[in-house]
Amino acid sequence: MTAEMDNRDDAPETPAETAQPAPEVEPHLPDTTALAAFGDLTIAELLDRLVRHPLATARNLADYLALLPRAAEPVSPPETAVAAESPAPTVSARPVTQRPPLTLDVPAAPVAPPPPADVTEEPEPVESAPDAPVDRPREAVLLGVRLGGLALALGGAAIMAYAPIRTEETALINGLPLLLLGGLIWFLVGMFEHARRESDTPPARAAEALVEDVPAFDMRLVIGGLALGSSLITFALSGGNLFRPVGVIAWAASIVLWAWALAPADWSPWQTLRRWRSHLFQPGTRKLRRLTWVTVVLLVIIAVGAVLRLADLPNLPPEMTS
């Protein structure tokens, strides 16, 4: 019995019986390689991990956000060994690829060679023709003539407006000539000033001016003559408060012809009619394509105005200005 106890005392101690100090566990350090791969995840992959492993994904996200201020430093695993932790779900990490920085190839601006030191650029003198002197007496005379024409026009308008009985004999015949004479005076003064400016233009400025060739006799003169003839026919056939067929036709024709004579060069009533036809009807057919409510309202307004104007025409006063 004593021998067995001596042998047991002489036997080597087993590791379980040997008392060893517990290993020191280092604080938790995040896996920077896994965190670098975590930063390359897309939004869809991050949501998928949050659904499958919410706690581990939240911890990795917090570690990744903590490393953001040190993003400029290269990510490398620490040299010290990380203590064993509780097993966490393994996450497959994609390899980290280093993307080259984005650079823009902008061509350098050409550098102009400096000018020679002995060469000095001086501005060329600009020769300008002197302005024509102002003839003050002539300007004063033209101003007086214009004021006289204005007085004649206002006097004619006052005769037609303030006549006791505004008829053709008492108002129109007495006031219209003065009104037309005042307008004619203003027109002649304007033509005189235009001719004077053309004659006073220096030859140097006249050579530099851009002159547009305009034919001396074109279609506008013909249209203007027809408009004047239509106006005279309208005036002759519209007396006595009577609407005669020829007078009404001449009246409408004079309106169209005067608008044609004063319109731009590329305008014509046929062009307007073709545009209206293409707007209302289908090309090549007589089928009505569009009739908007604006057109309908306009036609109704014209019809109502014509009825109100012509319904009691025989009982109107015998003068044209009622």
Q: Is residue 66 part of a domain?
A: yes
Can you tell me the distance from the alpha carbon of 175 to that of 159, in angstroms, rounded to the nearest whole number? 5
Asked whether residue 17 is domain-assigned, the answer is no
| 0.75 exceeded by pTM | no
Q: Check the CA dihedral 185-188-190-192 and report its sign.
A: negative
Structure confidence by residue, pLDDT tens digits, 56-83: 888 888 887 777 655 445 555 555 444 4
Selection from 16-30, 38-52, 118-132, 247-261 with the highest mean pLDDT: 247-261
Residue 220 has pLDDT above 70, yes or no: yes
Q: Residue range 298-308: average pLDDT? A: 91
The residue from 203, 232, 251 where one domain ends is 203
pLDDT digits (tens, 9 = 90+) for 99-113: 555 554 545 555 556
Residue 91 contacts residue 40 (beta carbons within 8 Å): no
Tens-place pLDDT, residues 48-60: 888 888 888 888 8
55 domain residue, yes or no: yes
Tell me the CA end-to-end span of the chain in Å, nearest whole number: 156
Q: What is the mean pLDDT of residues 3-29?
A: 50
Share of the chain above pLDDT 90, in %: 17
Name the percent of the chain lying above pLDDT 70.
57
User: Higher pLDDT residue, 41 or 116?
Assistant: 41
**Residue of higher predicted confidence among 265 and 93:** 265
When the pLDDT of each residue in the chain is averaged and rounded to a whole number, the result is: 72
**Burial of 257 per CB tally in 10 Å (0-12, 13-18, 19+):** buried
pLDDT of 163 > 80? The answer is: yes
Give 74's Cβ-side CA count (13 Å radius).
Answer: 5
**Inside any domain, residue 59:** yes
5 backbone dihedrals φ, ψ, rounded to 5°: -70, -35
Confirm whether 191 is domain-assigned.
yes
Asked if residue 314 has pLDDT above 90, the reply is: no
Last residue of a domain, one of 78, 98, 120: 78
146 in a structural domain:
yes
Lowest mean pLDDT among 90-94, 225-229, 261-265: 90-94
Distance CA(223)–CA(230), nearest Å, equals 11
pLDDT value, residue 62: 81
Domain boundary among 171, 203, 235: 203
| In a domain? residue 140 | yes
Query: Which pLDDT tens digit goes with each residue over 131-157?
Result: 556 678 888 898 999 999 999 999 999
pLDDT tens-place string over residues 197-206: 777 666 555 5
Q: How many domains does the chain have?
A: 2
Range of 57's domain? 28-78
